[in-house]
Amino acid sequence: MSKKGGNEMDKFLWGVATAAHQVEGGNFNNDWWLWEQQGGIKTGDSSAVACDHYHRYKEDFELIKFLNNNAYRFSVEWSRIEKEEGVFDEDAIDHYVDMLETLREMRIEPVLTLHHFTIPIWLYNKGGFLNEKFPEYFERFVSKVVPYFKPYVRYWITINEPVVIGTMGYIMGWWPPGHKNMKEAFKAVNHLIKAHARAYRLIKEANPDNKVSIAHNMTLIDPFRDWNPLDVALANRLNYIYNYAILDSLSTGRIVKPFGNYEHVEGLLDSMDFIGINYYTRVFARFKLKGWFDLAVKGETNDFGQEIYPEGILRVLLSVKDRYGKDVMITEHGTADKADKWRPRVIQDTINLLREARKKGVNVIGYMHWSLMDNFEWAEGYSMRFGLFEVDFDTQERKPRRSAYIYREIASEGL
């Protein structure tokens, strides 16, 4: 049950999550805008307006209150704040300060993400995540903004889904820069881990009571044929690389393989005050001849082709508790479901599993549903609808789906 009174940070956080580029509109100075101009969006959609959240954020905060939520996870857009290298836009910073002040006035706890996938064009042109100085560039950005934001923020996410950045941009080639090079993927994640360590130090120096983590995507990987030892071994290996290697790095202070060679990084040791988990689905690993493998999907699937498997969140939470013993925040969870066919059940089942996890000793401190509203879903444009609120992108009307009322009721009852 949610605690009433006492320390505000003891309260369970019921919230929703967004990312700047996906909802703000008007982000013309980052790598994703370039990617869009180069034809990287499968649907041909444009993020030019998106949800116009940059201008409509006060109205959208009322939607959060409608949901009986007390938290909002959102990101600031680096490319707005530092359009040109080393030149910081005070007006852009003031905009985010105003967002934070408004949230505080409305008694909504900000969970602030400093990096959610996008980088400024000037940095992209210098090699982006592969640039050896990437951690320094990120440190400079963080050192600039933290003094402005620290009066309002107690929960910080330094970087969203570092392993996804490596996978999608440097192995699959579906996101910028569109490469297909595994060594580059590991190098990009290595630099993101080092950037996190620097950001963690700066935030904790600003206020030691701040709670800092990353938002880490955890996708369960099971063997396609559980009777096949090759599938089992493959699934175990991929599970470690995708789900645990980065958390082991942040826990031990050494970047483990394949993202590093166990090198010690200053400030990395125990650099997560809680574990931020983004959970959506699972896949099945299948070994093929000549060392090849693929990842398959079984069972009922959502609009994105992802298996609808809320049961996996309990497996993830119990494994994280056993391995790290940290508090956990569900920093993203949802399903692509334009018709709102599955989402109501997925939300209800997932919250029940969170209750079960807490009974089994997992200290879950918050749940951020992805997403508040339909938005620009990266390479899929507007074709994938994750919102509790349906958005008409021609009129910008927001309309609650049935699942919004269900989540509203759950949040009012507490955990």
* Residues with a known catalytic role: 161, 332
> CB within 8 A of 315, min separation 6: which ones?
220
**Beta carbons of 101 and 58 less than 8 angstroms apart:** no
**Is the alpha carbon torsion for 309, 311, 314, 315 positive or negative?**
negative
**Beta carbons of 19 and 75 less than 8 angstroms apart:** yes
Cα–Cα distance for residue pair 126/135, rounded to 1 Å: 13
Cα–Cα distance for residue pair 274/215, rounded to 1 Å: 10
| 3-state secondary structure at position 25 | coil
State the DSSP code for 299.
S
Enter the tokens of residue 385.
């609808």
The residue length of the chain stands at 415
Cα–Cα distance for residue pair 155/159, rounded to 1 Å: 13
Cα–Cα distance for residue pair 42/201, rounded to 1 Å: 39
Instruction: Name the amino acid, one letter, at 309.
Output: Y
Cα–Cα distance for residue pair 86/140, rounded to 1 Å: 8
Cα–Cα distance for residue pair 402/389, rounded to 1 Å: 9
Instruction: Name the amino acid, one letter, at 350.
Output: T
How are beta strands 71-75 and 389-392 bridged, if at all?
unpaired
> CB within 8 A of 269, min separation 6: which ones?
251, 252, 253
**Is the alpha carbon torsion for 411, 72, 335, 312 positive or negative?**
negative
